[in-house]
Amino acid sequence: MEQGIQRIDYRLLQGCCLEAERADILSVSLEGLRMALPEAYGGTITNLVDEIRRSARKLRDLADRSQMHFTRVPILLNYLDVILPCYSKTLRDMTDFYEDRTVSKDMRWRRMSTLFDLNGLETLRTRIIKLREAIGLPTPTNQIGPVLRPEVMLRPIPQDPTLHWAEQIFSLPLTSRTALKHIRPSTAYGPFQTWGQLNIPKQVKMLFRSHSQMGVKLWASLYFKTWEELVLFHCTFVSLKARNILTSRMSPREFKLGSEDRLFQAQILDDGFKHSLIVFRDLVTQGLRLQASVWDGELKNCPVWTAFVTHQSASLTWLVRKSDHRIWLKDVQLYVFCDQYHQQNQRKGSSAGAFEIDFVSEMGATRFIEAVQSQSDPSEASTDTMEAIEDAK
């Protein structure tokens, strides 16, 4: 029996290396396909190639680490036995599309890309839950046999104290990826200077002013591939600008994305600070997110943290009301835009995984639950928007 387990270990772990090699070959082929197709296809194919290469590195790293952490291999095998064959079939299917010489390269990509869906996993999850309900099975709430202990899995990702917070924002994993349509390349309008030849003295502020419009001149247009990256960049940018000693005044509209609708707002006590908790819905993607902003003072409306509401919110245990004023949210990842805020002080429970929101008023907690639970019905949320915005001072 022991020999059989060792043989399975070897085959599955060796399969990680084989599939990583297959992924590398496919990534090179897709890179060549990208160069042969019009520039409009570039962004999507580049993202795909990056993900394939990243998965190849993960598989090799998995095989390497199994040699050191061999006691965890038996748990790992259950997952590999399911994931690895599916991953292998995906790579082989993509290779078949690429090697189909009977059609043009443009048509090969079109046929392949129609099978890509960023929401595919969520759609599959919803179908499985409906099938379980149809045969009388309860909706699963907990993962069975996790590779990591729950207290490790739900713990906030440790931050490097030597790095500025802005450097770490985009190194954190995205909890979801909502693709944006009509992707165009980012543009810088200048004026430009040769790299290394622009000598700017310290304590100098540079503005590009339009003499014809008598105002600041547009110098760049930035386009993002996902809604989440757009939000993170905007929050990071306005937070840095608001805290810059050279900034004299910021307009309230600078803190708001034009494509978002405010569904809810109330005052909360957050790590010893008074913050304004806001629920935003993106009008284009229908994505939902939470944002805590400075309540008053010079930095009023400046974002402190944001969190994206993902498919985890469908779980009955995602939101728990612990008291009249306190609500716990599970499986929430915060992106923090300052050094003074410490989210671990708001993490509660035995596993320190639940994030606590402490509302100033009981009505604020009630309205928050209503706003979040009505997300599946945008029309209902919009009619109650003004009622949900609480002015609690």
Strands 209-210 and 215-216: antiparallel
Domain boundary pick from 116, 133, 161 = 116
Name the residue among 252, 272, 270 with its Cα closest to residue 262: 252
Residues 301, 157 within the same domain: yes
- pLDDT tens track for 110-124: 888 777 765 666 677
Q: What is the mean pLDDT of the chain?
A: 80
The Cα-based distances of 118 to 121, 139, 176, 227 in angstroms read 8, 23, 9, 12
pLDDT of 23 above 90: yes
Has this prediction a pTM greater than 0.85?
Answer: no
Q: Does residue 197 form part of some domain?
A: no
More confident residue, 31 or 154: 31
Q: Which band of pLDDT confidence, cut at 50, 70 and 90, is reported for residue 162?
A: low
Count of domains for the chain: 2
Please tell me whether residues 237 and 368 are part of one structural domain. Answer: yes
Q: 116, 142, 161: which is the final residue of a domain?
A: 116
Same domain? For 106 and 160 the reply is no
pLDDT, greater one: 230 or 73: 230
CA angle 237, 240, 241 (to 5 degrees): 85
In this structure, are residues 108 and 98 in contact, taking their beta carbons and an 8 Å threshold? yes
Same domain flag for 236 and 378 = yes
Nearest to 351 by CA among 147, 155, 143, 141: 155
Q: What is the CATH number of the domain that holds 171?
A: 2.30.29.30
Better pLDDT: 147 or 72: 72
Residues 170 and 26 in one domain: no
pLDDT class of 138 with cuts at 50, 70, 90: confident
Full residue range of the structural domain in which residue 380 is found: 150-180+212-388
Domain-ending residue, one of 67, 90, 116: 116
258 found inside a domain: yes
Whether 163 and 74 map to the same domain: the answer is no
Q: What percent of the chain has pLDDT over 70?
A: 77
